[in-house]
Structure 1
Amino acid sequence: MARSPGLRKALAEKFDDELKFFKGWIDKPKTVGSIVPTSSVTARKMASIVNPRSGLPVLEVGPGTGVI
């Protein structure tokens, strides 16, 4: 079964993101809180408790390569 170029690209990007996190952890283990990006499943669970009508600000902390 041949993989489509789009799937191949998506898998390569996912691997690159995970490799960046892992390298960051290897270089500075005391400053990196995770060795892999947050999964979309975890992001959905975290977002499910947020009330978008609350008007409260949301603070994003991190390198910005994951789904959160």
Structure 2
Amino acid sequence: MKPQEFTAIDSAVDWLKRNRKTVLVGSVVVVAGVAFVVLSAGAGLVVLAPAVLLAEPATPFESWMAEAAP
């Protein structure tokens, strides 16, 4: 399957509905320059999730909460 790029989310959703049985989970779909990853939510439900939600931060998370001992 060739890479898919769309200018609007509506056309991407329509394409996904028509091709939900052939699209692979983990595929990347670009909508208006934003990358989305195809996820499966079970029972044949396919979801486009923004790829940024699945990315790991470049720097480790540092907690700003103070630790206190009893």
TM-score normalized by the length of structure 1: 0.32
Higher strand share: 2
TM-score normalized by the length of structure 2: 0.32
Higher helix share: 1
